[in-house]
Structure 1
Amino acid sequence: MRTDAFDYDMTVGGAPQSLSPGNEQRDFWTCAEAQKPGSQNLSGICDPVVDALVELLIAPPPTGPSWSPAPGRWTACCSGTTT
């Protein structure tokens, strides 16, 4: 199929989601999948910020008084501010 080789100008499709998204999000949205023939990343999204957001969705960072993020790591990509 032409979609397996990303040989198209436009396609129609959907990315059905569950109420508890998990590892399948990597199949739809990450750079690694955008480079694999026949992947579910039909839009070819390849952006390090999107990759970071997918990882946050799958395994959010711990929170609480004993945890503090690396300065600028998640806040820069996701909240629009830096620390």
Structure 2
Amino acid sequence: MSGGSYPKFRNDRGAPEICMGVREFMCIGEFPPQDHPHVYINMGEPDTILCPYCATRFRFDPRLTTLDANPPYSFVPDHNAV
């Protein structure tokens, strides 16, 4: 996803894993104001990766769209998007 903002995901309910339909994203940890630094993550080829701040495991699922996540509450909508 070059040239734009990256989808953001959070894990404030302690899910063991978050599945999403993107390989490039930002993890914010918990919902603000308890969030950690918003960190850009690029999975590359592997289907799973851990956030270096909160150790949330993220898994790429090609069945999901860019705006989907499992669990669904993990996706953080961009209210500034046009």
What's the TM-score, normalizing by structure 2? 0.24
Indicate the structure (1 or 2) with the bigger Cα radius of gyration: 1
Instruction: Kindly indicate which of the two structures has a greater share of residues assigned to helix.
Output: 1
Compare relative contact order (CA 8 Å, sep 6+) and give the higher one, 1 or 2: 2
Instruction: Kindly indicate which of the two structures has a greater share of residues assigned to strand.
Output: 2
